[in-house]
C-alpha cells in the first residue's frame, strides 16, 4: 500500500474511534492514567533523559491527560498521555466487534492510540515548520507525547476563552493567518479549532491539540475548515470583534496568492 494511502486509512480509523469516544460519558480518573504500559513508557522516557520527574497534572481531557514534567535540566515540559485502558475504551472495543466499519481495530486499541500520539507529534512538526505557533514537539513514545511547556513556573498558559483580550482584532487576524499557513504550507486543517484549543501566552495565540488535524486532501477537509472558521468567528463575535464573512476567510485560507 502506498504511504499516503496507509496514512489515510490510519487517519480514518483514528477518527472513527474518536467520534465514538465522544459519545461516552465516563471520565477517566487519575489512577487509570498510569496503567502498566504507560508506566513503562514514562520509565523509558526517564531513562532516555527526556523527562526526570512528573510535576503536576494540567488537565484531564476527553482523550488524554496532560502533565507538567521536568527534564533533567529542571526545565518544564508538557507530557500528554493518551488513554489506553479506560472503561470507555473497553466499552467501545465491545461495541465495534463485528462492525464492518471498524475491521482491524478490535484488539489493536493500543496500536491505534500509539499511532495517534505519533500523528499529533508529526502534525505539530509540520505546523511549526509552516510558521504556525504550536508547542514544539520533543518526543513521542507509545501513547505519550512530550512537547514544550507553554506557561510559566506558576502555571500553564490560559486558554483563549479565559483571557481578557486587549487587542482582540489582532489576535483574530493572527489566528486566521495560522489557518492559512496550516492549509497552504503544512497542508493541514486543524478540524477542532476553537477558543478551547488555543492557548494565550505572551499576548499571542498558540495552537494546541492537533492530533485530529487532517490533510487538506481529506474528503471532509473543507467541511472541517468551515467549522473551524465558524468557531473562531463565533468566539470573536462574542468579544465584540467586527468579524469577516466566512466565505471571505475560506478563500483567504485556501487560495494561493499570485
Ligand X SMILES: Nc1ncnc2c1ncn2[C@@H]1O[C@H](COP(=O)(O)OP(=O)(O)OP(=O)(O)O)[C@@H](O)[C@H]1O
- The alpha-helical segments, DSSP class H, found in the chain are 3-23, 30-33, 36-47, 87-96, 109-129, 168-181, 221-238, 246-254
Element containing residue 145 per DSSP (H, E):
strand 144-148
Q: Of residues 37, 99, 154, 192, which has the active-site annotation?
A: 192
Q: Which is nearer to ligand X, 146 or 241 (CB)?
A: 146
The 3-state DSSP class for residue 29 equals coil
Measured in whole angstroms, how far is the alpha carbon of residue 12 from the centre of its chain?
16
In the numeric block, which cell numbers belong to residue 43? Answer: 520509565
Site size for ligand X, by CB under 6 A?
A: 22
Is 58 a binding residue for ligand X by CB under 6 A? The answer is yes
Q: Which is nearer to ligand X, 150 or 243 (CB)?
A: 150
Is 152 a binding residue for ligand X by CB under 6 A? The answer is no
Residue 170 annotated as catalytic:
no
Residue 209 annotated as catalytic:
yes
Around 22, how many Cα atoms within 13 Å sit in the side-chain half-sphere? Answer: 6
Residue 182 binding result from Mg ion, ligand X, none, given CB thresholds of 5 to 8 Å by partner type: none
Taking the complex as a whole, the smallest distance from the CB of residue 57 to ligand X amounts, in Å, to 9
Residue numbers at the binding site for ligand X (CB under 6 A): 58-59, 61-64, 66, 78, 80, 135, 147-151, 156-157, 159, 196-197, 208-209
Kindly list the catalytic residues.
192, 209
Amino acid at each position: 500500500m502506498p504511504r499516503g494511502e496507509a496514512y489515510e486509512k490510519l487517519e480514518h480509523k483514528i477518527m472513527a474511534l474518536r467520534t465514538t469516544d465522544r459519545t461516552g460519558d465516563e471520565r477517566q480518573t487519575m489512577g487509570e492514567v498510569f496503567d502498566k504500559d504507560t508506566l513503562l513508557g514514562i520509565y523509558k522516557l526517564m531513562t532516555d533523559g527526556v523527562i526526570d520527574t512528573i510535576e503536576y497534572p494540567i488537565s484531564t481531557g476527553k482523550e488524554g491527560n496532560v502533565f507538567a514534567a521536568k527534564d533533567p535540566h529542571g526545565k518544564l515540559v508538557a507530557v500528554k498521555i493518551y488513554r489506553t485502558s479506560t472503561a470507555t475504551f473497553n466499552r467501545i472495543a465491545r461495541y465495534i466487534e463485528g462492525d464492518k466499519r471498524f475491521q482491524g481495530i478490535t484488539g489493536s486499541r493500543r496500536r491505534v492510540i500509539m499511532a495517534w500520539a505519533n500523528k499529533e507529534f508529526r502534525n505539530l512538526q509540520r505546523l511549526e515548520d509552516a510558521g504556525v505557533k504550536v508547542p514544539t514537539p520533543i518526543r513521542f513514545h507509545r501513547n505519550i507525547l512530550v512537547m514544550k511547556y507553554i506557561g510559566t513556573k506558576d502555571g500553564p498558559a490560559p486558554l483563549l476563552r479565559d483571557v481578557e483580550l486587549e487587542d482582540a482584532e489582532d489576535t483574530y487576524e493572527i489566528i486566521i493567518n495560522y489557518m492559512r499557513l496550516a492549509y497552504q504550507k503544512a497542508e493541514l486543517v486543524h478540524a477542532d479549532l476553537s477558543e478551547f484549543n488555543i492557548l494565550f501566552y505572551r499576548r499571542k495565540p498558540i495552537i494546541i491539540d492537533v492530533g485530529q488535524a487532517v490533510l487538506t486532501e481529506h474528503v471532509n477537509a473543507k467541511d472541517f475548515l468551515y467549522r473551524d472558521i465558524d468557531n473562531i468567528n463565533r468566539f470573536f463575535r462574542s468579544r465584540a470583534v467586527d468579524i469577516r464573512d466566512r466565505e471571505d476567510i475560506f478563500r483567504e485560507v485556501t487560495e494561493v496568492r499570485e
